[in-house]
Amino acid sequence: MAGSIPISVLEREKSMDNNNVLKQLLMLGIGTTSLVADKIREATDQWVREGRIDPEQATKMVNDVMHQFRTDQGSVEELMQRQIRNVMQDLGVPRQAEMDELRGRLDRLERQVRDLENKLWR
């Protein structure tokens, strides 16, 4: 069956699958950040109501923790991207630059074949 489907369609579907996974990972990160922020605000609001900290301290604490969380999350995202690239390379999945180069070479070869065919028919 795969032989009857053009390679470009299969490549596009594979690319869409990869994009979907990356979008899901990104959404997971956004959801995690939002959940962390909500939980920190809930805790600091509770501490303010109990008189353990004042509202200014609560705001500063939330801002500090969220800043640190975003910084750490960026490091985790970079690590994940590196790991995904390594896995894809280990699986033999070509990089976009390699695919672009091959497409260019294929276009040139097709053009050369057309030119040769045209010369034969003259």
pTM for the model: 0.41
Q: For 53-65, how does the pLDDT look when each residue is reduced to its tens digit (9 = 90+)? A: 889 988 888 888 8
Q: For 16-74, how does the pLDDT look when each residue is reduced to its tens digit (9 = 90+)? A: 455 566 666 666 666 667 777 788 888 888 888 999 888 998 888 888 888 877 777 67
Q: What is the pLDDT of residue 31?
A: 66
Give the span between the Cα atoms of 73 and 116, in whole angstroms. 56
Residue 2 has pLDDT above 50, yes or no: no
- How far out from the chain centre does Cα 78 lie? 10
91, 66 Cβ separation under 8 angstroms: no
Residue-wise DSSP of 63-109: HHHHHHHHHHHHHHHHHHHHHHHHHHHHTTPPPHHHHHHHHHHHHHH
Residue 110 binned pLDDT confidence (cut-offs 50, 70, 90):
very high
